[in-house]
Structure 1
């Protein structure tokens, strides 16, 4: 009996030791696994990024909608350029460089990484990590291009260029009127020139910003001498800035706000003897938050936590719509400042169909021409259409009202004046 008990005790002790050893091994493996979890997590994350980049690279050309994307894509980042697959490009390293850049930009974590870095620079140092965007007084954002243009003013001008410019505008007006079309030329304002007191301290002309020479005086004189019908948006802003309760250029925007655009459109509708779209009148009210072009530079900063709650405005129609036999057709040629002007045109008594020929500067400093059509009353960008000379001729032939715009920063140097003159000459 005792021997059997001793045998059972021995077997129980052995089993207990085995269980203890097994539990020890399991505990050791668990602790080892927990200790290496960060390593496994990092390895898994790197593997995910690698596979995600391969996937994005594979579907980018033929099925771009299948890409794995960030919930908040970066603003102002140019579309990746195709890699050059030639021997010379490979030997020079251009192929490898382009592929590396494209793969990096296609990564799902690229946007949040850029935003985190930009937020750090903005929050800690009050600086801008976005190329071409400068931060002025009280957080006012400026496009560096307009600062450079403003600071380069010296009061001089080229008389021969000025004469050719005003003569071409007079010819455009006469050709348009001969074909039964109203014509108005619009000078849009530059934020740097109209709010120089807010320029950043780093601006080359910051110390003398408020006493810089007025550039537009000879251009106004030339237009008056040539009897060109025009609206001076720059002078309009200079006059209205002290009257308006909200600044006509929003803190986070490069362009005038909806009130500035509406003031200009109101004067445009008053300029011709008769206006097919009627004379604009509008109401305005504070906006709860900046949207659209009122925050275009803020968006380009690409911050994690952008503050878009600063003063800006919305506009509305004053009075009833007109009794219009048909929707008039407005042809507008110019740059990005026309967006708010054309949005205001939708509130006119007879809202027009708008063909907007948009001259935009690209990343490589070239000019890209786009063509957008807005249905009567549509204040959005509208539908993008082809932008051929045949399309322009067709738009021009059917237009009742022609609006041509240049910004004061590049006045007499843009392409739209020549394009419009050539198109008018092609009309029968």
Structure 2
């Protein structure tokens, strides 16, 4: 009888193990947690005739089941932890582990070694175009400047996972051409390298791909001072009042580590998180700043308070594509359905804004300014000019698979009594689109 009882317990145990994944798939117990970044790939479209016959429901259902089957996050974490701990392997995009555990993204390494070099003639032409825009804006009392963001591979080449012969780089030649042609700019790389002996990882964290929050605040202060010097404007200035060390990384300082999907999030040495205040008055003239930038801009836009206490208004065009006005804090970007730059009156924007700032890291120099200088010159010559649409396939994929985007567009489709696909087409292609 005792043996029969043991057999029943063993059978029951294995039945629970076998059936639990199915239970968790349909009941949101989620004892194993959630896979980071899964929200971009595992959203299930509603089942109806439109999604069925288009095949969209089937494709999202397959991804949803793969990503959300019970204990899936647990198995992912077990796999990733073993690979990371024993072999130094990572399974997040193009992340690679360098020496002493430093994490990099492959595109930054490729750019550092010059594998994306566009050629001197292209760089000279792009720089001349930027200088032409700068001069035209200056004649109208406006200001344009460029920020060359510091790169992790340039800052920490000693921790790269491998070495190879370094070729010509976009960063090297753009930094020379900017000086040669007189482009307003700040170059964060040599400045960061000068501070490296004293600040080290405090400017570039071990497990982050972007400059640290402290570094971003220093860059913000330098941008404002450079702009003051170039324009004669009297803008409020950032004053750091206290340096606080934290053993837990904040803002974007641990962004790669957060995405590794391990059982525990690896942490760098204590990081600096400064207290600061803006000193001075914004003045009577409501100065407005437009930033066109990549992900290195987020910390500046969200957490420096530059749009609240320095300028009267700051708008951020992420990759010259999505428009961001609402400021979030603590490294939390606004994930709602964004206005696209193609939805705006570009000519009106060029008339209204006093200053224009382009922020680009090293890999993105191969997509120099994402066409902003060319489009701005064209719109100043012809107010009816419409910039070329870019990245439609990416935007369509986001609209279908990113939860907040899809929900907003589904709601708009119901209000207009049209299909989701039709609504997405309006969102992407109708110049008169309004939410």
TM-score bucket of the superposed structures, by smaller chain: 0.7 to 0.9
Q: Distance in 1 between matches of 2:79 and 2:60?
A: 22
1:171 aligns with one of 132, 151, 163: 132
8 Å Cα contact 1:287/1:313 also seen in 2:
yes
1:192 aligns with 2:146: no
Equivalent residue for 1:45? 20
Q: Which residue of 1 aligns with 2:99?
A: 137
Within the alignment, does 1:371 sit opposite 2:323 as a pair? yes
TM-score by length of 1: 0.73
The alpha-carbon distance between structure 1 residues 175 and 207, as it changes in their structure 2 partners (threshold 3 A), is closer
CA shift for structure 1 position 130? 2.6
Please, which runs of 5 or more residues in structure 2 have no aligned partner?
Answer: 46-50, 385-435
Matches for 1:10-409 after TM superposition, within 5 Å: 30=5, 33-49=8-24, 51-52=26-27, 72-77=33-38, 78-80=40-42, 99-152=61-114, 158-200=119-161, 203=162, 206=163, 216-244=171-199, 246-271=201-226, 272-275=230-233, 277-283=235-241, 284-318=243-277, 320-322=279-281, 324-325=283-284, 328-342=287-301, 343-344=303-304, 346=306, 350-359=310-319, 369-374=321-326, 381=333, 385-391=338-344, 393=346, 394-409=348-363
Cα distance in 2, alignment partners of residues 370 and 108 from structure 1? 35
Q: Which one has a bigger Cα radius of gyration?
A: 1
**What's the CA shift for 1:128?**
1.6
Query: Given the superposition, is the C-alpha separation of residues 339 and 421 from structure 1 closer, same or farther in structure 2, using an over 3 Å criterion?
Result: farther
1:157, distance to aligned residue in structure 2 (A): 6.0
C-alpha change, 1:236 and 1:416, in structure 2 (3 Å) is: farther
Is 2:385 the counterpart of 1:410? Answer: no
Shift of residue 34 of structure 1? Answer: 2.9
Distance in 2 separating the partners of 1:49 and 1:223 = 57
RMSD: 3.7
Conservation of the 8 A alpha-carbon contact between 1:161 and 1:412: no
- Distance in 2 (CA, whole Å) between partners of 1:287 and 1:339 is 21
Q: What are the Cα deviations for residues 327-353 of structure 1, in whole angstroms up to 9, with x where unaligned?
A: 632210010111233333539962543
TM-score, normalised to structure 2, is 0.72
Deviation of the 1:227 alpha carbon: 1.8
Residue correspondences, number:
369
1:20-61: CA deviation from partner (whole Å, max 9, x where unpaired): xxxx7xx78755533422243235425414645xxxxxxxxx
